[in-house]
Amino acid sequence: PETIHVVKEKEAIRILGAWFGNNIDDCVVWSSQLEKIDSALESWERSNPTIQGRRLIVSMVVGAMTQYLTTVQGMPKTIEKQMIKRIRKFMWGDKTQSPVNFDTLLAPRTEG
């Protein structure tokens, strides 16, 4: 029937928020999430948040926007590296050396 769509090889289909298909590129699946995160972080940047505010924003924006897809799909290492770059850029701007170790930044407040 015309109403049935059969997905071709290397073509992804979205089912309940996750992407499925044979031989799909996992990085392509994450591209829309990366764009949404970039847009949200740019929007928050305009409010000139404090360092504590930035930490909370990263937790709310990056954490919330990636949690479900990471759970159902997994996150490729290349995407993880891109996320870390985005977080560092949002936290420290164009500074080449971060004032706080990244692992300390991600740790609970009681530990860092």
- Per domain, the residue ranges of the chain are 26-106
Q: Do 55 and 104 touch, CB atoms closer than 8 A? A: no
Tokens of 33: 């999430």
Which helix (H) or strand (E) segment holds residue 15: the answer is strand 13-15
Name the residue type at position 30.
Answer: W
Cα–Cα distance measured from residue 59 to residue 21, given in angstroms and rounded to the nearest whole number: 30
For residue 90, count other CB atoms closer than 10 A to its CB. 22
Convert the pLDDT of each residue in 41-90 to its tens digit: 999 999 999 988 998 999 999 989 999 888 888 888 999 999 999 998 99
Q: Do 23 and 10 touch, CB atoms closer than 8 A? A: yes
pLDDT top residue among 112 and 42: 42
